[in-house]
Amino acid sequence: MHDYLPILAIIGALVAGAISPGPSFLFVARNSIALSRRHGFATALGMGCGACLFALMALLGLHAVLTAVPLAFWVLKIAGGLYLLWLAFGMLRAAKKPLAQIALPESGTTSLGQAFLFGLLTQLSNPKTAIVFAGIFSALLPRQIPPYFYGVIPLAAFCIDTLWYAVVAFLLSAESPRKTYLRFKAGFDSGAAGVMALLGLKLLFSDK
């Protein structure tokens, strides 16, 4: 029974982290409303895969690597910040497109595979997430990590993020949110672009 207590504590911490607002939530929300429910689900799957990779890397000692080699952390940090700024630029350009181009997502240029990839890259764009994962694991894992933890914890991270963002995609792709988005598309996209840009700049210029 004692072996499962750290896993339960980690799951609780991961759930709290997943539901907190951030670029991942913003990107899933926009894809679900502006494109389609399927695009939202594909983006959610990408987020889950990113969380799984971060959990596995944290278990394997990514925190130690980033601490020992500060240059690696800063390179990842800059790349992540630039990626978020690139997403913001794309959202801002989309704000200027006519509503008719958004109303029929099937005619758009974003495939489900691209939605998945963008979700994965958005999740992986912030190396601080790896630090947070490593901090949680350091605080809650036993000194001697049982081998099965290397499978269970990444799987739990995948399920938590995928399910949470799938729920977000399901709710926000409903008819009412979609109609509201189509009415205020320019303002919504511009606001989302501004928030994403601020998150990218914060990642680029923060000291830690």
Pick from 40-54, 62-76, 115-129, 180-194: least confident = 62-76
Residue-averaged pLDDT of the chain: 79
The Cα–Cα gap between 28 and 26 comes to 6
CA distances (Å), 85 to each of 17, 31, 82, 99, in order? 22, 17, 5, 24
Q: Report which of residues 49 and 73 the model is more confident about.
A: 49
Q: How far apart are CA 33 and CA 36, in angstroms?
A: 6
Residue 204 and residue 73 in contact, taking contact as beta carbons nearer than 8 Å: no
Question: Which DSSP category does 147 fall into?
Answer: T
Residue 149: name the closest of 140, 162, 19 by CA: 140
Band (pLDDT 50/70/90 cuts) for residue 156 is very high
Tokens standing for residue 202? 């914060």
Other beta carbons within 10 angstroms of residue 39's beta carbon come to 27
Q: What does the pLDDT average to over 194-202?
A: 81
pLDDT in tens, 157-185: 999 999 999 999 998 888 887 777 767 77
What pLDDT digit, counting tens, does each position of 103-122 carry?
434 435 678 899 999 899 88
- Over range 142-169, report the average pLDDT: 88
How far apart are the two ends of the chain, measured CA to CA in Å?
37
Q: Furthest-apart CA pair in the chain: how many Å?
A: 58
Residue-level length of the chain: 208
Question: Confidence band (pLDDT; 50, 70, 90) for 149?
Answer: confident
**Other Cβ atoms within 10 Å of 155 Cβ, number:** 14
Instruction: Look up the pTM and report it.
Output: 0.72
Which residue bears the tokens 């029974």? 1
CB hemisphere CA count around 138 (13 angstroms): 11
Q: What is the pLDDT of residue 128?
A: 63
pLDDT of res. 143: 66
